[in-house]
Amino acid sequence: MKIALAYSSKRGLLKEYLRRFPDSGKDSSDECFAEGDSPATINAVKQAIAGLGHEVRAIEADIGLERKLLRFKPDLVYNIAEGLFGDFRESYAPIVCEKLSLPYTGSGPLALGICLHKARCKEILTANGIANPSFRVFRTGDAIDLSGLKWPVIIKPAAEGSSKGIFDRSVAEDETSAGKLIAETLAQYNQPVILEEFLPGAEFTVAMIGNTPSPEILPIVELDFSQLPGSARKIYSYEAKWVWDTPSAPLRIFHCPAAISDVRRTAIEELAKRAFRTLELRDWCRMDIRLAADGTPNIIEINPIPGILPDPKENSCFPKAARAAGYAYPDIFAKVIQAATCRLSGGAHGAAF
Ligand SMILES: Nc1ncnc2c1ncn2[C@@H]1O[C@H](COP(=O)(O)OP(=O)(O)OP(=O)(O)O)[C@@H](O)[C@H]1O
Ligand SMILES: [Mg+2]
């Protein structure tokens, strides 16, 4: 097949940002580009897909995406693009594919938009009885009512990923610090802010490939927060992800497969499958799940385009889970392409959407 790999590089995101805000003085080291793909990732994915026997062209999902796709005329778009900017950015590449009637891997624009907006996602999960931490949403200008909360709480921007805006100091123990954090986060990220009940239990991340009704669940990854500096919060914060964990001194924060009982594993897997079905996700995704004080698994967050850093030292969970399942890096893409092809042809797992 001719496959276009649609990606968003850190450089491409910076270029687009400077086009919009020429006087911003930003550079690619800014937190705002943390979700962009590095040249190493783009190249590794391209090589992996080419190694499966496909003709691959890597295409930056910038404002020229439509033009470049029209020129290449792919049979399939493999979508790992973050999009451009704004709360709906991940929907951008799939919408272009929809417009051009090009088949693409992964979830559609609606599911991507919803999962990126954590508050909207939580509303849908809650309406469908899928466990997630209780929450309140604040928008600029709202009165900040913090009465009747269970403490501590965690405060995060509604539409970010890669732990942007989730710092070690994002957990608040009282109304004063929570109020201050909400105001700061609203001002800095220019989007709604979510306040969530802080779940004290163990944390897992669950990689999935395939489609409803029977997506494959890869071995569950457990996060080991004892690896963080002693005084740090037991969360996978921006500092834990990007500052304390480096390829030269990796934090051994992940255990895969998680050492959990069959009962707990089944509970986590069932929750992940229900969320996958409810949000109409497709082909692959990664869900962050954490236990409440009573041990009930709750969805923290859903990543329909999971991170796939190729270097094992970079501690990327999806490839780690794949390795634990006995899959090499290219097998991830082979399986996702197979899931997408099967779905698109209306095959066994294709009927759902
Ligand atoms: N309600 C909560 N209770 C406890 N910890 C939480 C809660 N919400 C978030 N966290 C912690 O903060 C981390 C980052 O949160 P979240 O997964 O929402 O952010 P993200 O930036 O979207 O992550 P990703 O990089 O996976 O896209 C979680 O992995 C978890 O450790
Ligand atoms: Mg997360």
User: Rounded to the nearest whole angstrom, what is the distance from the C-alpha of residue 297 to the centroid of ligand 2?
Assistant: 15
3-state secondary structure 102-151: CCECCCCHHHHHHHHCHHHHHHHHHHCCCCCCCEEEECCCCCCCCCCCCC
- Please indicate whether residue 154, judged by its CB atom, sits closer than 6 Å to ligand 1: yes
Q: Which ligand is nearest to the CA of 156?
A: 1
Pocket test for ligand 1, best of 221, 290, 320 (most atoms within 8 A of CB): 290
pLDDT per residue as tens digits for the range 187-245: 998 889 999 999 999 999 999 999 999 999 999 999 999 989 888 999 999 888 888 88
To which residue do tokens 């609606």 refer?
110
Atom nearest to 197 CA in ligand 1: 1
User: Rounded to the nearest whole angstrom, what is the distance from the C-alpha of residue 300 to the centroid of ligand 1?
Assistant: 6
User: Rounded to the nearest whole angstrom, what is the distance from the C-alpha of residue 108 to the centroid of ligand 2?
Assistant: 20
Identify the CA nearest to 80 among candidates 113, 54, 46.
Answer: 46
**Nearest protein CA to atom 8 of ligand 1, as residue:** 300
Flag whether pLDDT at 282 surpasses 50: yes
Atom nearest to 286 CA in ligand 1: 26
What is the reported pLDDT for 347? 61
φ, ψ (nearest 5 deg) of residue 339: -60, -45
pLDDT per residue as tens digits for the range 121-176: 999 999 999 999 999 999 999 999 999 999 999 999 998 777 788 999 999 999 99
- Around Cβ 184, how many Cβ atoms within 10 Å? 15
Identify the CA nearest to 132 among candidates 143, 123, 142.
Answer: 123
Atom nearest to 196 CA in ligand 1: 1
- Please indicate whether residue 303, judged by its CB atom, sits closer than 6 Å to ligand 1: yes
Indicate where the chain has its CATH 3.30.1490.20 domain(s).
Answer: 134-197
What is the reported pLDDT for 353? 40
Mean pLDDT value of segment 249-260: 91
pLDDT per residue as tens digits for the range 309-347: 999 888 899 999 999 999 999 999 999 999 999 999 986
Q: Which CATH architecture fits 134-197?
A: 2-Layer Sandwich (3.30)
What is the reported pLDDT for 350? 43
Identify the CA nearest to 135 among candidates 341, 251, 299.
Answer: 299
φ, ψ (nearest 5 deg) of residue 14: -65, -45
Pocket test for ligand 1, best of 236, 244, 245, 253 (most atoms within 8 A of CB): 236
**Nearest protein CA to atom 19 of ligand 1, as residue:** 163
- Please indicate whether residue 160, judged by its CB atom, sits closer than 6 Å to ligand 1: yes
Tokens of 157: 């921007």
pLDDT per residue as tens digits for the range 2-38: 999 999 998 898 888 888 888 887 776 666 676 789 9
**Nearest protein CA to atom 15 of ligand 1, as residue:** 163
- Please indicate whether residue 239, judged by its CB atom, sits closer than 6 Å to ligand 1: no
Identify the CA nearest to 278 among candidates 67, 127, 104.
Answer: 127
Determine how β-strand 2-7 pairs with β-strand 76-79. parallel
Output the DSSP codes for 144-204: ---TTPPSSEEEEETT--TTTT--GGGEESSHHHHHHHHHHHHHHH-S-EEEEEPP-S-EE
To which residue do tokens 């700061």 refer?
184
Indicate where the chain has its CATH 3.30.470.20 domain(s).
Answer: 203-344
- Please indicate whether residue 285, judged by its CB atom, sits closer than 6 Å to ligand 1: no
Flag whether pLDDT at 352 surpasses 60: no
Q: Which CATH architecture fits 203-344?
A: 2-Layer Sandwich (3.30)
The rounded distance, in Å, linking the Cα atoms of 58 and 72 is: 10
**Nearest protein CA to atom 29 of ligand 1, as residue:** 236
pLDDT per residue as tens digits for the range 286-317: 999 999 999 999 999 999 999 999 998 888 99
Flag whether pLDDT at 46 surpasses 80: yes
Mean pLDDT value of segment 81-87: 84
* Contact by Cβ (8 Å): 139, 192: yes
The rounded distance, in Å, linking the Cα atoms of 191 and 168 is: 20
